[in-house]
Amino acid sequence: MFDPDTELVKRAGQGDRAAAQALMARHLPKMMTLARRMLGRQAEAEDAVQDAFLKLWTHAARWEPGKAKFETWLYRVTMNKCYDRLRKRPGASLDEAAEVVDPTPAADAVLANAELGGEIEAALQALPERQRAALLLCHHQEMGNIEAAEVLGVSVEALESLLARGRRTLRARLGHLK
Judge whether residue 68 has pLDDT over 80: no
Whole-model pTM? 0.61
pLDDT in tens, 97-155: 444 444 444 445 555 566 767 788 888 888 898 999 898 888 888 888 988 898 889 99
Per residue in 24-50, pLDDT (tens digit) is 999 999 999 999 989 988 999 999 999
Q: What is the pLDDT of residues 72-97, one digit of tens each?
A: 889 999 999 999 998 888 754 545 44
The H or E element that residue 77 is part of is helix 70-88
pLDDT 10s digits, 154-167:
999 999 999 999 99
Grade residue 61 by pLDDT with cuts at 50, 70 and 90.
Answer: confident
94-178 belongs to CATH 1.10.10.10 = yes
Q: Tell me, which fold does domain 1-90 have in CATH? A: Rna Polymerase Sigma Factor; Chain: A (1.10.1740)
Give me the pLDDT at residue 48, please.
94
Q: Hey, where are the domains in the chain? A: 1-90, 94-178
Q: What is the pLDDT of residue 100?
A: 43
Taking 90 as the threshold, does the pLDDT of residue 2 lie above it?
no
